[in-house]
Amino acid sequence: MNHVTIYHNPDCGTSRNTLALIRNSGEEPVVVEYLKTPPSRETQVALIAAAGLTVREALRVKGTPYDELGLNDSKWTDDQLIDFMQQHPILMNRPFVVTPLGTKLCRPSEAVLDILPQLQQGSFTKEDGQAVVNAGGQRV
């Protein structure tokens, strides 16, 4: 039984590091590649709310049509912003992780450590070389 779900983009380093940290805790998560299988509107709204974010805080700017769509304009309502995320899944920031301990937008990737039900099982270093967890499984 999987206790952890990650809304993942394999092209994103933060998302890859987060997935690796989940696996380093001994969990094999449900991996939802949200660009291939976008969450329903209801799921997306629930993820954002459960993470304690505003819809604007869940938007991704870099590498998305955010600027060309003019999404920085305050005229857009939350419902309209969700509509844009439904039309352009790349606008949803990542990775969202859901565990029995909570839901979180894991930026930076080590934010996932706060909601993992199991401790890290060994050392972990991010792709960029930054040590996050020592050999004893504790945050560096």
Q: Are 34 and 86 in contact (CB under 8 A)?
A: no
The encoded tokens of residue 103 equal 């839901």
* DSSP classification of residue 53: -
Choosing from 4, 12, 82, 132, the catalytic residue is 12
- Facing residues of 104 across strands? 97
**Length of the chain measured in residues:** 140
* 106 in catalytic set: no
Rg (CA), the chain: 15
- Residue 116 sits at the vertex; the CA angle it makes with 58 and 100, to the nearest 5 degrees, is 80
Taking the CA atoms of residue 102, residue 105, residue 107 and residue 111 in that order, the dihedral angle to the nearest 10 degrees is 0
Catalytic residues: 12
